[in-house]
Amino acid sequence: MTVGHGVSHSEEATGHYEGMLEAIQHWIAQPDETRDRPPAFEHHTALSRRDTGGGAATILIGVFDGLESPARHDSDLIGVDLSLQTSTSLPLRAAFEHGLIVLEGALSVEGRRLSPGHLGYLAAGRDVLDLDVAQPTWAILLSGVPFEEMIQMCWNFVGRSHEDIDDAHESWLTDDGRFSTVASPLARIETKAPSWRQACHCDRRPPRARLPVTGACRGAPAGRRHRSSSFRRRWRSRTNGSSGARCGWSRWAR
């Protein structure tokens, strides 16, 4: 889903599955060239997959090791789903900075252990990533050109300034048409004011583990903070609005 200037969507349980449904939602800040354009939606049922020598890599977005995802991306970046059984090495692009998220299991990078609930950051300047894996591990690799523009984020609103967020928040509260409507039986969420106007949940950040880095540290790109600081979360039903970003679901599992 490409949010652009604004969109509404509803996340509803279908009732056609058993057990706990898990997923990863990736939020990508759009550059100035596209962030105010109309929203769009894509659904891809097949993604490229490669053997890493220690498991499998599914390319969620961008180009990785010669394989390309069909998913749209408005800036130069990569997202890879890693299902690892043993230690392996992954090719990197030296101009990119990288974030590594472990969802299940654990792995180590140059002696630093990374476990679920933390984001490991590696600065630009390296062309290979050696992963020490001692148990079955599910992880996500996020890589991209450092995003030079300042980002403000609160709830589902992404902008460049407090004024951007205030405008989006006001449009959502007044339902002025910016976010359109979605046919859903779910109640519309009434979100709190941004943190600079009222303390709210949007300031919470998940802990981040600092992995060995090459070059200057720029800090990891902002990720989604919505009701939970966990990278894995149970499915929740709701109707909400978003602005200034792309988001996508990947890796459904029972």
Kindly indicate the confidence band of residue 31, based on its pLDDT and cuts at 50, 70 and 90: confident
Structure tokens at 203: 């300031």
Highest mean pLDDT: which of 13-22, 26-35, 88-97?
Answer: 88-97
Q: Which of 193, 253, 191 is nearest to 8 (CA)?
A: 191
Q: Look at residue 82 in the predicted model and tell me its pLDDT.
A: 97
Which class is domain 7-149+199-253? mainly beta
Q: Which of 77, 83, 50, 82 is nearest to 65 (CA)?
A: 50
**Which phi and psi (to 5°) does residue 191 adopt?**
-85, 160
Q: Give alpha helix (H) positions in the chain.
A: 162-174
What is the distance between the alpha carbons of residues 28 and 73, in angstroms, rounded to a whole number?
A: 9
Q: Where are the domains of the chain?
A: 7-149+199-253
Instruction: State pLDDT tens for residues 225-250.
Output: 222 222 233 333 445 666 665 555 44
pTM across the whole model: 0.73
Name residue, tokens 């709830």.
155
Continuous segment of H or E residues that includes residue 98: strand 97-104
